[in-house]
Structure 1
Amino acid sequence: MTVVVTGARRRAVRDGDRHVDTAHLLHALVESDPAVREVFDGGPQLARVLGYLVQRSIGYGLRWQRTQEDSGGFPAVRAPAGEGWSPSAASAMDRAARSALRRGELQADGLDLLAALAADPRCRAVEVLDRAGVDAGPLGARAADRRAAPDPLG
């Protein structure tokens, strides 16, 4: 998860944003986590999502720069990952961590975070998914199901 957090922070800085938001987290997830990429329905769907995220990172398409994300979909939490997180991103990180703790694990993984992002219908990550033609509900459910499934390798 450190790779995802680092990647999301780097994207926010490069985009000129004051806060890491859920779209930054989604971008870092799909770039760095093979398990997250497997949850999408094939290559074309993932390619459309990445296309929207890249457009956003170069300042084209979705216009969110220099605004703070707060979907209001979940209660805001104190930023667990530190300062510089949008309320929606901090809430998603918190939900992912709680999911891991319920399984008895100390750290969340990419599937936990993807399920948490997909659960907030008004966050920027879900807006990206919607524009790419990806239904966030089933995507989040697949992520949660794969996370709950026992590892066949042990």
Structure 2
Amino acid sequence: MQPRIPRQSAQEQDCRRPDAAADDARLSDELASVIAGARRRAIRDGDRQIDTAHLLHSLLEHDPDVYAVFGDGPHVARLLGYLVQRTIGYGLRWQGTVEDSGAVPVLSDGEGFSPLAAISMEHAHRRAARRGDVRARGVDLLAAIVEDPEARAVEVLERAGIEAGALRARIDEHRDEYVAGDTAR
């Protein structure tokens, strides 16, 4: 009897690029876990790259500050439902395609990320630097992910009834609160 879940190679289990050490210093512990989780999810889904929907799903699973941004209510359950369904039909139309809206320049080497996910990572780092933090946090990445209306994460949010612009405004409105919560750990 063959296992239902394919075995991962040692390289896939590690979920790190060989040059990841330099970037790790720019990530909070939570965000490093988020990226590892998104990479595992992409591998499990048979996707070639980590896209913004993988990152969103992993953010909700691993970062309590990101989960708090969404607040309580049925929209969070609906969002998680759409993210889970991605591998059983909803996201199949994305397989084999590259997430790129064309609205932003494509990075030549996304290092395992879709072009939009790679740009979101860079925006998260810049957002952290603007506030004087050397490490990007999950809320920084969430804010960056919802910037491009063509991102897969934005499509999933909208299907769940969550407007990306309103989410961005909520993040900006409570920025100090989310950052204070992270530094208290």
Following superposition, the deviation at residue 143 of structure 1 comes to 1.8
Structure 1 unmatched runs, 5+: none
- CA distance in 2 between counterparts of 1:28 and 1:93 reads 14
- CA distance in 1 between counterparts of 2:108 and 2:169 reads 26
Alignment of 1:3 onto 2:33: yes
- CA distance in 1 between counterparts of 2:56 and 2:129 reads 21
- CA distance in 1 between counterparts of 2:154 and 2:118 reads 15
Match of 2:137 among 102, 109, 114: 109
Alignment of 1:132 onto 2:160: yes
SS of the equivalent of 2:174 reads helix
Q: Using structure 2 for the length normalisation, give the TM-score.
A: 0.75
In structure 2, the partner of 1:118 is 146
Q: 1:74 to 1:141 in 2, by over 3 A?
A: farther
Q: Aligned Cα RMSD in Å?
A: 1.8
Match of 2:58 among 3, 9, 28: 28
Structure 2 unmatched runs, 5+: 1-30
SS of the equivalent of 1:42 reads coil
- CA distance in 2 between counterparts of 1:3 and 1:49 reads 20
In structure 1, the partner of 2:127 is 99
In structure 2, the partner of 1:47 is 77
How many residues are treated as equivalent by the alignment?
151
In structure 1, the partner of 2:97 is 67
SS of the equivalent of 2:111 reads coil
In structure 2, the partner of 1:151 is 180
Larger gyration radius, structure 1 or structure 2 = 2
SS of the equivalent of 1:107 reads coil
CA contact (8 A) 1:36 1:110 kept: yes
- CA distance in 2 between counterparts of 1:98 and 1:76 reads 17
Moved more, 83-92 or 61-70: 61-70
Match of 1:142 among 150, 170, 174: 170
- CA distance in 1 between counterparts of 2:78 and 2:103 reads 25
SS of the equivalent of 1:151 reads helix
CA contact (8 A) 1:49 1:132 kept: yes
Q: Which amino acid letter does the alignment assign opposite residue 140 of structure 1?
A: R
Q: Which amino acid letter does the alignment assign opposite residue 142 of structure 1?
A: R
Q: Using structure 1 for the length normalisation, give the TM-score.
A: 0.90
CA contact (8 A) 1:78 1:90 kept: no
- CA distance in 2 between counterparts of 1:105 and 1:88 reads 23
